[in-house]
Amino acid sequence: MKGRAQVIIGAQWGDEGKGRVVDFLGKNVDIFARYQGGANAGHTVIVEGSKYVFHLLPSGMLYPCKVCIIGNGVVIDPEQLIYELRMLQDQGKDRARLVVSGAAHVVMPYHKLLDQAHENFRGRGKKIGTTGRGIGPCYVDKYNRMGIRMEDLLDPDLLREKLSSNLDLKNLQLTRIFNIEPMAFDEVYKKALEWGKILEPYIADASLILNEALNSGKNVLFEGAQGTLLDVDHGTYPFVTSSNPVSAGACIGMGVAPTIIDSVTGVVKAYSTRVGSGPFPTEDEGEIGEYLREKGGEYGATTGRPRRCGWLDLVALSYAVRLNGMDNIALTKLDVLTGLEEIKVCTGYMLNDEVLGSFPTNVNLLEKVTPLFKTMKGWTEDLGACRKFEDLPEAARNYIEFIEEATRVSIGLIGVGPQREETIIREI
């Protein structure tokens, strides 16, 4: 009998608390699979009082006897991966077995230089605000059919050939376009060979392993990085990342068929945040934004940048429900709203005196919309001890039910505090 294939995605601009939800659901999962993005992500998990931030490793690494897979759709910075693995090994916490797809692309040192150089080139007001981790340039090489894949690190001759033709071009770009020092072939080649030696035990045919495991009854959880509105096709382009965080990305990025997916859970933060540039209709640049940032600890897990904050946006969320085919929602950080007299939630957008029927995919329009807010009553009671929906204050229950009505998706999990156990489960 086939095992259960569950996809967890971010429904906003990333940082919804996916790592925490994945970790909570992990008990019934045999395999954790990451399918896109790279070290631009930052998954924070708090277990037994200790905080772990993973950029590349799937959040399931802290579970004993599980398998964690990094799929072909991920772009891997081997230095970062080795660092995260060693950190866990040093603490005796490398409890899961790791598999890395041989077809995943390698983020090379020149990708990081080019990422930063491109950002500087874009100039004021045009910057995307990337994490500088080389993500865009690595995906460019992948689609330009010149990228280096993890399996190439295991073949010194092929690696020499591929790296040499790559570096010839990259050094021209670095020196002639961006006025940056070129990279020495020998140094990069030596490093890449070392990465291959260290990571060889993990590199395998991830799609085959995953499909066989599913067919033998193992339960798989696909964990998306970033969020729907950062999707390169469906997000607020060009202020997006270079991969597909939407649920369909799981199939391409892991080598599984769409027909095997059983459910999609969208992780939604009880308010909105965004790092980097781009339109954000419900952003609050005043007191409320500051309150959410400080109370919610809204600083980037990867870059430490303060996140832009604002109210929950149901227009954007309904768009994310449609794109991902969400079966249910996991609502995180509800406790951050505690203490606010009033809570606003965006129920529509106005553009040129008209109410828009759906989320505009054109950022030039999105930049011009005015959000329409419904104001709801807040609550002051501490939520940390609530374990059932009925334990929540009435105002909090109303807020949740309002989101469910607007999106027509039920909220099966509610985060009421940062610890694993500070969670209400309804159905998921």
SS3 assignment, position 169: helix
Identify which of residues 40 and 318 has a Cβ nearer to ligand IMP in the complex: 40
**With respect to ligand IMP, which residue has the nearer C-beta, 214 or 240?**
240
Contact 58, 97 (CB under 8 A): no
What would the two tokens of residue 228 be? 């729907």
Q: Are 96 and 64 in contact (CB under 8 A)?
A: yes
Nearer to ligand IMP, 178 or 237 (CB): 237
Q: How far apart are CA 377 and CA 343, in angstroms?
A: 6
The H or E element that residue 137 is part of is helix 135-143
Residue 425, strand partner residues: 413
Rounded to whole angstroms, the Cα distance separating 310 from 303 reads 20
* In the complex, minimum distance from the CB of residue 325 to ligand IMP, in angstroms, rounded to a whole number: 22
Closest CB 55 distance from ligand IMP, rounded Å: 9
Q: Where does residue 298 fall: left (phi above 0), alpha (psi -120 to 50 degrees), or beta otherwise?
A: beta
φ, ψ of residue 378 to 5 degrees: the values are: -90, -170
Which residue among 15, 23, 141, 152 is the active-site one?
A: 15
CA count, 13 A, side-chain hemisphere, 114: 25
Q: Looking at beta carbons only, is 303 or 347 nearer to ligand IMP?
A: 303
Q: Could you tell me which residues come within 8 angstroms of residue 196 by beta carbon, excluding any fewer than 6 positions away?
A: 153, 154, 159
Q: How many CA atoms lie within 13 A of 256 on its CB side?
A: 31
| Rounded distance between C-alpha atoms, residue 41 and residue 225, angstroms | 6
Give the integer Cα–Cα distance in Å for 239 and 221. Answer: 28
Active site residue 43: yes
Q: Residue numbers of the site for ligand IMP (CB under 6 A)?
A: 13-15, 40-42, 128-131, 133, 135-136, 225-226, 230, 239, 241-242, 275-276
Closest distance between ligand IMP and the C-beta of residue 276, in Å?
2
- Rank residues 6 and 130 by Cβ distance to ligand IMP and give the closer one: 130
How far apart are CB 303 and ligand IMP at their closest, in Å? Answer: 7
Q: How far is the CB of 113 from ligand IMP (least distance, A)?
A: 14
Give the shortest CB-273-to-ligand IMP separation in angstroms: 8
List of residues 6+ apart from 312 with CB closer than 8 A: 268, 269, 270, 271, 272, 282, 345, 346, 403
Q: What are phi and psi of 135, to 5 degrees?
A: -65, -55
In the complex, the smallest distance separating the C-beta of residue 114 from ligand IMP, rounded to whole angstroms, is 11
What sign for the dihedral angle of Cα 165, 167, 168, 172? positive
Q: Which residue is nearest to ligand IMP (CB)?
A: 276
Which is closer to ligand IMP, CB of 60 or CB of 278? 278
CA angle 317, 334, 220 (to 5 degrees): 65
User: 347 burial class (0-12, 13-18, 19+ CB within 10 angstroms)?
Assistant: middle
| Selected catalytic residue, list 23, 30, 43, 313 | 43
Least distance in angstroms from the C-beta of 373 to ligand IMP: 24
- How far is it, in rounded angstroms, from Cα 428 to Cα 408? 15
Cα separation, 94 vs 176, in Å, equals 44
In the complex with ligand IMP, which residue's Cβ is closer, 136 or 253? 136
As given in the structure block, the two tokens for residue 188 are: 């990069």
For ligand IMP, which is the closer residue by CB, 223 or 422?
223
Active site residues: 15, 43
